[in-house]
Amino acid sequence: MTSSRPTTHVTDIDPESAAGAPGSANEMAATGRQSIVADRAAPADSARQVQAGLGVKLEGLRAFYGKAEQVKGIDVDFKANEVTAIIGPSGCGKSTMIRCINRMHEEIPGAHAEGRVMLDGVDVYGPGIDVVAVRRAIGMVFQKPNPFPTMSIFDNVASGLRLTARRGDLQAKVERALRSAGLWDEVSDRLSEAGAGLSGGQQQRLCIARSLAVEPEVILMDEPCSALDPIATLKIEELIDELKQRVTIVIVTHNMQQAARVADRTAFMLAGELVEVGPTQEIFTKPKDSRTEEYVTGKFG
């Protein structure tokens, strides 16, 4: 765990009960709750949940591919423990923008970013900042579900912990992450099977579990449902709603209904610029900018 994280952080599920309790799955089934994250802490426990997400603030963020400027100076505040959706037509720089937040943008040859990305007041582009540590704090889920093909379900979830050389009690951590991703009940009896053998929706939740396992404070999602069917999409959306209690979520989506369903706030981007950001309700019902209105009413894009 990085030293910079708040010492008050605790996970929302008691590790003891999550790891042990062989009968727990049955008990959960007995309660018959509809939520796919059926094993979340009971309401009584949620009182002691600590807000664990961290806010992210972009200040004059510009992103380049070679000389081409794809993101042209964005200032936006992603508030802690909120879901912010980024909408906008194809090629407007949504993905590029969120890839700058965990410094994945610079992995592309010739690409670089300017400006500041403040994670709870710390510029992740600042001098002396370890890009690897940044990515541990800010996780990412990609468009296409991409479990590691050589690894089992268990190893996929454990991979983040192993890759970052933080082992601890792998068994308990993997189970907790799979439960948080709402996948535990579906895979608990075949953890040693290949992750690639799951359905698309399960694979994507496996990828979410993989990101959760390293306990990031922010999760970036780059069109996480665009390769999934409606039912799998619904599960991910329910999951996002649950996860925001402990992480800050920024989700890029092509699907305006999805933004309306999951996001507390929505940002509209156009041609590399941020046109408008505000509470989702407002963006969709009474946007301030005429371009936003045209986009959300389907006049273009």
Partner 1 sequence: MSAQAGSPALLGRLAVSPARRRRDRVARSAILAATLLALVPLVLIVYYLLKKGLGSWSPSFFTTDPTGNTFFKNSTIGGIKSAIFGTIEMVALASAIAIPLGIGVALWLVEYGRNSRFAQTVRFFVDVLTGVPSIVFGLFVYIVLVVGTHSTYAGYKGSIALSLLMLPVVIRSAEVILMLVPAGLRESALALGSPRWRVIAKVVLPTALPGMVTGVLLAVARAAGETAPLLFTAASTHKTTTDLGAFMNSLPVQIYSDVTSPTASVVDRAWGAALTLVVLILLLNLIARLISRRSRLA
Residues that bind partner 1 (CB under 8 A): 102, 104, 107, 109, 132-137, 139-140, 142, 144, 146, 148-152, 159-160, 162-165, 193-194, 207, 210-211, 214, 216
Q: Compare residues 32 and 149 and give the one whose CB is closer to partner 1.
A: 149
Q: Compare residues 58 and 214 and give the one whose CB is closer to partner 1.
A: 214
Q: At what angle do helices 153-163 and 200-213 cross, to 10 degrees?
A: 30
Tokens describing residue 53:
């997400």
Least distance to partner 1 from the beta carbon of 53, Å? 17
Least distance to partner 1 from the beta carbon of 147, Å? 9
Q: How far is CA 8 from CA 11, 14, 80, in A?
A: 10, 15, 15
What gap in Å lies between CA 268 and CA 199, rounded to an integer?
Answer: 32
Least distance to partner 1 from the beta carbon of 26, Å? 29
Least distance to partner 1 from the beta carbon of 104, Å? 6
Q: Compare residues 43 and 109 and give the one whose CB is closer to partner 1.
A: 109
Q: Compare residues 41 and 151 and give the one whose CB is closer to partner 1.
A: 151
Q: Compare residues 139 and 182 and give the one whose CB is closer to partner 1.
A: 139
Least distance to partner 1 from the beta carbon of 152, Å? 6
What gap in Å lies between CA 83 and CA 166, rounded to an integer?
Answer: 28
